Every structure is written in structure tokens, then in C-alpha cells.
Amino acid sequence: MKSPIGYIWGVPRKLRQLIKDLKKAGFSKVSGGKGSHQKFTHEKVDGFALLSGASGDDAKPYQEKHVKEKIEESQNED
């Protein structure tokens, strides 16, 4: 069973999948992340989405939630 953003229940997604979701939603990677931190911005979103870890690492539940919230925020029409 898949969720709207591609999560298969019970199987952790990889950070590369979250990054792909962000880019598909119109986010751009910007410089400024330290170490393994990656920063993404969107013109309709205040602030930024920040992910830590290597692209092959399993995404943590809080990272999944953060990306989902930022994508939803980018889709709001204000």
C-alpha cells in the first residue's frame, strides 16, 4: 500500500527519495548546509527544508513529516 508521496508502509524510505519528492514539488537545493545537511528552498515557502544524512540513509519519521509539511506548504495558494 502506498501513500500519496510514495511511502510504502513499514519500509523506511531513503533520503534520496525525499530529495526527489522535494525537487518534484519545485524545491531547489541551495548552499549553506554543513556536513551532511542539505538545504532546499521554494519561492512559496517561508524558510527552508533541511535534511541531514547521506542520500542512501534511511529517512527518519521526523524527516518524512518535515518534507510532507513543506511540500503541502508549497502547494497552498495564498
CATH code of residue 58: 3.30.920.30
For residue 37, give its domain range: 15-75
Tell me how far apart the alpha carbons of residues 36 and 77 are, in angstroms, rounded to a whole number.
Answer: 32
The C-alpha cell 514539488 sits at 25
pLDDT given at position 16: 96
pLDDT in tens, 56-73: 999 999 999 999 999 999
Structural domain contains residue 2: no
Which residues are CB-contacts of 12 (< 8 A; sequence separation ≥ 6)?
58, 59
Structural domain contains residue 9: no
Domain count, the chain: 1
pLDDT given at position 25: 96
% of the chain residues with pLDDT over 70: 86
Cα angle 77, 46, 7; round to 5? 75
With a cut of 50, list the residues of the chain below it in pLDDT.
Answer: 1-2
- The secondary structure of the chain in percent helix, strand, coil, rounded to multiples of 5, reads 30, 20, 45
